[in-house]
Amino acid sequence: MKIVMKFGGVSVADGESMRNVGKIVERFRAEGNDVVVVTSAMFNVTNSLLDAATRAGKGQREHVLKFVEDTRARHIQSARTAMSDKNVLERTIQAVESKCDDLKNILLGIAHIGELTPRSKDFVVGFGERFSAPILQGVLEDQGMKAKALTGGEAGIITDDHFGWAEPLMNVTTLEVRQVIDPLVEKGVVPVVGGFIAATQDGTHTTLGRGGSDFTASIIGAAIRADEVWVWKDVEGLMTANPAIVKDARMIDRISFSEAMELAHFGAQVIHPKALESAGRFQLPFRVKSLSNADGPGTLIVKEVKVKDGNVVKAITNIDDVDLITVSGASMVGTPRLAARVLEILTDEDIDVLMISQSSSEESITLAIPKTDGSKAQNALELSLLGSKQVREVSIEAGLSILAVVGAGMRGTPGVAARVFGTMAANDVNIRAIAQGSSELNISFIIRKQDAPKAITALHADFKLGECA
C-alpha cells in the first residue's frame, strides 16, 4: 500500500516520541508499504512562534532573543535524545542551527521595524515544521532508512497568497507534488514533509491555517494517489461518545467523511475539517491510528458507509461551556435581513457560532456561542442592534452544553428525534434550543451543562452504541 502518515505535535513532542515515530514508519515499511511522512511542529512550538512574532511586532527584542535560544535548545536536545549516529546527529544539528539563525534574523528584523505583516507572520509561524522535519529525517536515517525533509513548498504545495489561510491551487499542486514525491518513493527514500506550510508560485511562504498539517497530508495523499492517509493520535480512534463520560463508549470502525465532519464541528475534532472535506472530494480514505496501539485498525473514514438496519445513530458528542444568546423583539417579524445582520456582526468580531435557531414567529433568534466569547458577542450585538427598533433585547444565558447526535442512518428514518427527546424527557433533562441540519446527519440541542453526563449516558444506552455494530 501507499500510505501517507501524519504525525501531530504530540507525537513529535520530544526526542523519545520521535524515535517512536521512526519505529512506526520502519515497521510498516518492513511490511512492504511505501510511506510518506507529514509532520507537525513539536508540541506547542507553533503557539510560541505566534507569540514571539506578536512580541517582535511590538519591538520586544529581548524576548525575541531569549525565545530563539530556548527554541534552539529544545530542538537540539530532542535531536540528541532521538538519534545516536554521530554523523547523522551532526548534520541534523547543523540544519537546526542554520534555521534558528534565519528565525532570529527575521524576528529581529520585525522587532526593528516594529511591524508584523500577515506575510512575515506566516513566515515565522511556519518555522516549527522547518525544524521538526529535518529532525525526523535524522531519526529515520538513524534507524537505517533513507529519508529527505521537505517544506510544503519544496514538496510542491503551491497556494494563493491568502496569508494565514492560504488555499492550495490543486491543479499545479497535484502535478508538482507528484513530480517531487514519486521519484523519492521509487528510490526507497521516505519523504518527510513539514505540514501546515506552503508557498505561492513565486516562492513566498504561506500557511494553510492552524491545525493545517492534516490538510497537508490530504493534499499529498490526493496528489500521489495514496491508498490511505493515516493520522496518528494519542487516542484509540473516533469514539461513540467521550469515554471519560460513558464507560462503555466504543471505538467506531468506520465512519463517513460527512459524519466525521459533524463530529468535528460538535466538539470531537480529531481531524481538521478542511482535511476531511478535501479527502471526501478526492475519495481518499483516512484512518485514525493509535500511537499506543499501532496494530489496531483504528477508525477508517471513507466516502460512504453502509448503514446497517436499525443502526441510525453513530455517535454522541458534546461541547461544554456554551452560552446561549437570544436576540428578541416583536417587531423582528418580517425583517428577513436581521438573521444575516446578526451573523455578520459576529463574523466581524471573529466569533464562532456553534448553532443557530429561529422561532417561526420570527420573534427571536437564538445562537450558541463558546463561553469564552459570550459577553463579547452580547456586547457587539447590543451595540449594533439595540438602537434599531427591531430588536428589544439581547439576552445571555450561561452554563449550557450542546449535545449532538450524529449518524447518516438518521436520514429518512422517522422517529429519531422523538426517541432522542423522549429519552431526554424520561431523564428529566430540559431542552433549551434545538437544531437539525437538512442533511439529517445530526440532531443538536442545548441543555444545562450539569445535565450533560446523564443525557449522553442515557442516549448512548438507548441507541445501543456500546454494543458491537
- Interface ranges with ligand ASP (CB under 6 A): 8-9, 40-41, 46, 128, 195-196, 210-213
Residues 270 and 259 sit within 8 Å (Cβ to Cβ): no
Identify the CA nearest to 346 among candidates 372, 319, 384, 320.
384
Give the dihedral of Cα atoms 259, 261, 266, 267; nearest 10 deg: 110
Decide which of Mg ion, ligand ASP, none touches 364; Cβ closer than 5 to 8 Å per partner kind: none
Residue 264 CA, chain-centre distance (Å), reads 8
Decide which of ligand ASP, Mg ion, none touches 128; Cβ closer than 5 to 8 Å per partner kind: ligand ASP
* Options 79-87, 95-103, 208-216, 355-363: segment touching Mg ion (CB under 5 A): 208-216
Site for Mg ion in 3-22 (CB under 5 A): 8
Decide which of ligand ASP, Mg ion, none touches 218; Cβ closer than 5 to 8 Å per partner kind: none
Q: H or E segment at 402?
A: strand 393-406
Cα–Cα distance, 337 to 234 (Å, whole number): 45
Identify the CA nearest to 433 among candidates 330, 338, 356.
356
Map grid coordinates 461544554 to a residue: 320
**Cβ 165 to Mg ion shortest distance, Å:** 16
Cβ of 6: how many Cβ atoms within 10 Å? Answer: 29
Q: Which residue's CB is nearer to Mg ion, number 8 or number 128? A: 8
Q: Which residue's CB is nearer to ligand ASP, number 4 or number 458? A: 4
**Cβ 456 to ligand ASP shortest distance, Å:** 28
Decide which of ligand ASP, Mg ion, none touches 195; Cβ closer than 5 to 8 Å per partner kind: ligand ASP
**Cβ 203 to Mg ion shortest distance, Å:** 26
Question: Which residues lie across from 442 on neighbouring strands?
Answer: 406
Which residues of 21-174 form beta strands (DSSP E)? 34-39, 146-150, 158-159
Decide which of ligand ASP, Mg ion, none touches 210; Cβ closer than 5 to 8 Å per partner kind: ligand ASP
Q: Does 194 bind Mg ion (CB under 5 A)?
A: no
Q: Which residue's CB is nearer to Mg ion, number 254 or number 272? A: 272
Identify the CA nearest to 128 among candidates 101, 109, 105, 100.
100
Q: Which residue's CB is nearer to ligand ASP, number 11 or number 366? A: 11
92: three-class secondary structure by DSSP: helix
Q: Where does residue 336 rank: exposed (0-12), middle (13-18), buried (19+ CB within 10 A)?
A: exposed
Decide which of ligand ASP, Mg ion, none touches 257; Cβ closer than 5 to 8 Å per partner kind: none
Which residue among 153, 195, 211, 298 contacts Mg ion (CB under 5 A)?
Answer: 211
Q: Which residue's CB is nearer to Mg ion, number 126 or number 211? A: 211
Residue 431 CA, chain-centre distance (Å), reads 29
Decide which of Mg ion, ligand ASP, none touches 78; Cβ closer than 5 to 8 Å per partner kind: none
Q: Which residue's CB is nearer to ligand ASP, number 264 or number 465? A: 264
Residues that bind Mg ion (CB under 5 A): 8, 211
